[in-house]
Structure 1
Amino acid sequence: MNYYILSLIWAITLPACMAIHGLYNFGQPELFYKKNNCKPIPANLLLCHDIEYTEMRLPNLLGHETMNEVLQQASSWIPLVQKQCHPDTRKFLCSLFAPVCLDDLDEPIQPCRSLCESVKHGCAPVMSAFGFPWPDMLDCERFPPDNDLCIPPAGIDHFMPVTKEVPRVCDACKEKEENDNEIVDNLCKNDFALKIKVKEISYMNGDTKIVPETKSKTIYKLSGVTERDLRKTVLWLKDGLQCVCDEMNDINASYLVMGQKMDGHLVITSLKRWQRGQREFKRISRSIRKLQC
């Protein structure tokens, strides 16, 4: 199983591989045969860094036994949190990926069933819109009722925060009004310009990795990019886990991507959803045809 494959597009934004594997059967004694260790929550566990507690339990409630496995799997869910489909999404996910670790408590504290149900109610429709059902392994019936020791939903006072942090938009995905000369200038500044459809999206070391569908690729410009680079094209959006790209919100759509070759990687500097017939893309097509740098 490839831990990295995501498709999202939550664009950039939902994981293609949202299957969570290794989930323990809650309440089964096998979970407690292994000694649970308290581990500091590392700074690169972006999903759960800087939450209300600082130490997590390993193995966690999803059966991950190493921190590397936690990091690989948790990154897939950051786009869902960025969608802000429910105020408790991060709280719910972190209760599973990085459960609070208390020295004087042998058994892990699970999320309450009501917490799962409220997050599912807000986020399952968002996931469904991108073709991803709520995972069976997060069936809310697995979690204890609220009268047990468990993590409850936020109080009603916390459901509508006065201020809500707005995720930063990735620089490559910001809307830009450009005239024909500026479009040509932008094309000339970059090493490649491709029209693509997305096959896979994943996250590695905080960056977004985009693999286009081979047959969908149309090449408008190449400079310093070799046949080897294009044999299996991989595009990178720098710091993609730290920002959102709502431009890329449909895995079936086509996109115009431009960028530069940096340290052997094809790095995206501009990304636009290609909408056939739209005036802006008619202008872009004209500019590409008469391109002279």
Structure 2
Amino acid sequence: MMLAVMFAFTLPGYLDSIHGMYSFEQPELYQKKSNCKPIPASLHLCHDIEYTEMRLPNLLGHETMNEVLQQAASWIPLVQKQCNPDTKKFLCSLFAPVCLDELDEPIQPCRSLCENVKIGCAPVMAAFGYPWPEMLECGRFPLDNDLCIPPAGVDNLAPVTKEVPKVCDACKEKIEDDNEIVDSFCKNDFALKIKVKEISYMNGDTKIVPENKSKTIYKLNGVTERDLRKTALWLKDGLQCVCDEMNDIDAAYFVMGQKLDGNLVITSLKRWQKGQREFKRISRSIRKLQC
């Protein structure tokens, strides 16, 4: 996610994004007359691309703009991972296909564009437990021709001065001594060692559902252990920042945070590496601590 993992980047939460997709071989996609619609500023996945109007229904079978906005948000973490320079172009060719009045049929991504993105991004998605979706298998797209969207050529690649994604505050690397660890622990309402069951995105935030069986509670204030089984953890504005610290859904993480407006909001997230000196020190300091 993350991705948030995530895509996190789920990343995914991407299973919802492919729910209801049409096969590109099915005629149903073209039975309804397509309409050109302005790409809204709220479609952050396809913000600031080279064209301003998109076709509805799109190539994923989404018929309303609300459906496009909801499903596209889950893919932002994959773009943030920068696994391929054409990831955004490929996804936007599906979610927000270019709309030209003089063409009756939509312009699809070329197969080579799909293959290039898949080579770079499928391993990133697999690290979070998600295979490349069947509905995006590259064989469904046309071989390169004048009427499909190709990958960027070597001459057209963006310069190296690309924008560096913002790192989520909770995921920034911090070197803390024992006193700082104790101070941070006492300021927060919860401290947990968790494994991640699921990552998804809601209203721009990253929602993290821990596995109950693998959870270790170091501190819990204002919420019972029973409530915790039904409560998710939240990384605020997770769609607007990256959390490379959380890059493996099978790993364990040490998270601390606060209860805000009834939600458990993460303020610090570290990947737990068994045997590492820092985490031995954290465990030792916390177990004998009285705030």
Q: Does 1:96 align with 2:94?
A: yes
Q: Does 1:69 align with 2:31?
A: no
Q: Is the 8 A contact 1:258 1:268 kept in 2?
A: yes
TM-score (structure 2 length as normaliser): 0.91
Residue in 2 that maps onto 1:53: 51
Matched ranges for 1:273-288 at <5 A: 273-288=271-286
Residue in 2 that maps onto 1:256: 254
Query: Structure 1 residue 184: deviation in Å?
Result: 0.4
Q: Does 1:191 align with 2:189?
A: yes
Query: Structure 1 residue 282: deviation in Å?
Result: 1.0
Residue in 1 that maps onto 2:9: 13
Separation in structure 1 between the aligned mates of residue 175 and residue 3 of structure 2, nearest angstrom: 29
Task: Name the % identity.
Answer: 82
Q: Is the 8 A contact 1:7 1:16 kept in 2?
A: yes
TM-score (structure 1 length as normaliser): 0.91
Query: Structure 1 residue 183: deviation in Å?
Result: 0.3
1:84-133 CA-to-partner distances (Å, cap 9, x unmatched) read 11111100000001111223322111111221122222222333344433
Separation in structure 2 between the aligned mates of residue 197 and residue 279 of structure 1, nearest angstrom: 20
Separation in structure 2 between the aligned mates of residue 50 and residue 267 of structure 1, nearest angstrom: 31
1:133-163 CA-to-partner distances (Å, cap 9, x unmatched) read 3222112222122224111111212335231
Query: Structure 1 residue 27: deviation in Å?
Result: 5.8
Separation in structure 1 between the aligned mates of residue 144 and residue 282 of structure 2, nearest angstrom: 56
Separation in structure 2 between the aligned mates of residue 196 and residue 131 of structure 1, nearest angstrom: 17
Separation in structure 1 between the aligned mates of residue 270 and residue 283 of structure 2, nearest angstrom: 13
2:142 to 128, 137, 144: 144
1:158 to 156, 159, 168: 156
Q: Does 1:124 align with 2:119?
A: no
Separation in structure 2 between the aligned mates of residue 281 and residue 30 of structure 1, nearest angstrom: 55
Distance 1:274 1:162, change over 3 A: closer
Query: Structure 1 residue 169: deviation in Å?
Result: 0.7
Q: What RMSD, in angstroms, separates the aligned Cα atoms of the two structures?
A: 2.1
Q: Is the 8 A contact 1:248 1:273 kept in 2?
A: yes
Residue in 1 that maps onto 2:238: 240
Residue in 1 that maps onto 2:198: 200
Q: Does 1:109 align with 2:103?
A: no
Residue in 2 that maps onto 1:216: 214
Query: Structure 1 residue 9: deviation in Å?
Result: 2.9
Aligned length: 289
Runs of 5+ consecutive residues of structure 1 not aligned to the other structure: none
Aligned-partner SS, 2:8: coil
Runs of 5+ consecutive residues of structure 2 not aligned to the other structure: none
Aligned-partner SS, 1:80: helix
Separation in structure 1 between the aligned mates of residue 285 and residue 279 of structure 2, nearest angstrom: 9
Query: Structure 1 residue 269: deviation in Å?
Result: 0.3
Code of the residue aligned with 1:260 in structure 2: it is Q
Distance 1:226 1:44, change over 3 A: farther
Aligned-partner SS, 1:261: strand
